Chains A and B, each alone.
Chain A
Amino acid sequence: MSATPPLQDLIVCPNCDAVYSTQQPGFGERAVCTRCHTVLIAPRRRAGAQIIAVALAGFILVLAASVFPFLTIEAGGAQNAVSVLDAALVFGGGPLVLVSLGTIAMIIFIPLLRVMLVIYVLLPVVADRPPAKHAAWAFSLSEALRPWSMAEIFAIGCAVALIKVADLAQIAFGPAFWMFCILTVLVVVQDSFLCRWSVWNSLEKTT
């Protein structure tokens, strides 16, 4: 690169610092860093509307999945059905209450918050309006929270728990378990549809 092109035409790979002059790929194509293979840009047609739809579905699922029982147990006439809230609250009392709070946060609160942030950021973009107030901050927060949203890990935890006590008592999945399974798929879909570069670009253009 002999003469440096204007800075706004460049893109830097966040993982390996390689510089490229930005070429907007077409819908369904991906711009990949040749050095470290990080996907830099991956636009999709009508991704915004699709992501909002998926996020809304996710919002309802998290709320429902937190109140319905996800496992029921029966042994010798005694019976018990637990919801996510029950599971998160068992650590009550003493320092173990921290585990309760962390569990609620990672399975319910953070997934809910992320879904709401994504809708808040994308709704004005999709509607061709100027970005919402503090949209950049909201999108940053949503991205920072991504690794801490652990609903899908909880779903696997349910399955492990079921097998663990299978010989102790009769156990069955409740409705919330299946909601968590669907939620897992939705989270994956939402993350793969979302092109971060496109979002940042649209937030900038309209300001």
Chain B
Amino acid sequence: MQVVGMELPRKDDIVTARDIGVVGCQRCTKVWPLGTTRCTRCGARVISRDRLAYQRVWAWWLVGLICYIPANLYPMLETRTLIASQADTIIGGVLTLMGHGSYGVALVIFVASVLIPVGKFLAIAFLAISAQRGTRSPSLQRMGLYEIVEYIGRWSMIDVFVVAILSALVQLNALATVTPGPAALFFGMSVIFTMLSAQSFDARLIWDAERR
């Protein structure tokens, strides 16, 4: 596949919409004179730089973080077999799996439920703070980080789905039953709130920070 670069050859020659007094629609890329508030092509709200974006990012971020705490304290799954009953938290579940020797699955759950959520909290905080304060770290790298956060955040839902699947599947009367725990709700909410936090962020602010 051939790649066509658009006009403007050198990197330092980049002209932004704000420089020439126009504003671009972030949904459909149409250009409007500065001061336009709504794109009539796609109906999206148009704004050159959204300063309120930070407040929305931090608000969702904080709610997400608050939900992540009970998500780790309460059990995710309760397993009842003939001989024993066991309630596993996220970390507990990972340890149990490792005890059974299923290192692969333990790794998948650990990455999806611990590594990705924690990494996401840190990444969003870094992006927001660096954009607010100005930074010397390259914009292209921070943009890459933002794209990773947006792309990978949804995958944390895997653990909630596994809980749903297991609870429906393992209903073998007296032999073995699995029931979902309250952590499933908190964890799911935490994932949703951090996704909203990442979506609230205005990617253009990443590039503004470089010039300061």
Contact = CB atoms under 8 A, between A and B. Distances in A.
A159 to B, nearest CB: 9
B148 interface: no
Contacts of B83: none
Interface string A18-52: 11111101001111111111001000000000000
The interface residues of chain A, by DSSP majority, are classed as mixed
A163 B188 CA distance: 22
Given A106-B157, A153-B154, A164-B97, A23 B7 contact: yes
A166 B170 CA distance: 11
Nearest to A103: B164
Interface residues of B, number: 79
B6 A40 contact: yes
Interface in A143-177: 143, 147-148, 150, 153-154, 156-158, 160-161, 163-169, 171
16 contacts: A11-B29, A12-B25, A17-B208, A25-B4, A29-B4, A82-B169, A87-B164, A90-B167, A98-B188, A99-B164, A157-B162, A157-B164, A161-B169, A163-B104, A164-B97, A200-B41
B28 interface: yes
Contacts of A106: 157
Contact of A140 (B22, B23, B27, B207): B27
Nearest to B165: A161
A16 B102 CA distance: 44
Contacts of B175: 75-76, 78
Contact of A78 (B43, B164, B173): B173
Contacts of A88: 164
Given A14-B24, A40-B6, 16 more contacts: A8-B31, A14-B203, A17-B18, A18-B14, A21-B7, A29-B4, A32-B3, A36-B140, A86-B168, A87-B169, A103-B161, A103-B164, A140-B43, A153-B158, A165-B169, A196-B28
A4 B15 CA distance: 11
B150 A147 contact: yes
Contacts of A167: 100, 102
B94 to A, nearest CB: 11
A132 interface: no
B14 A34 contact: yes
Contacts of A107: 161
Contact of B102 (A15, A40, A164): A164
B162 A30 contact: no
Contacts of B32: 7
A23 B7 CA distance: 8
Interface residues of A, number: 81
Nearest to B179: A90
Contacts of B184: 91, 96, 99
Contacts of B3: 29-30, 32
B122 interface: no
B42 A1 contact: no
A164 B203 contact: no
B91 interface: no
Interface in B8-50: 8, 11, 14-33, 41-44
B207 A31 contact: no
B20 A36 contact: no
A19 B31 contact: yes
A126 B188 CA distance: 39
A75 B176 contact: yes
B98 interface: no
B126 interface: no
B171 A80 contact: yes
A103 B105 contact: no
B137 interface: no
Given A13-B24, A139-B42, A160 B4 contact: no
A169 B172 contact: yes
A14 B43 CA distance: 15
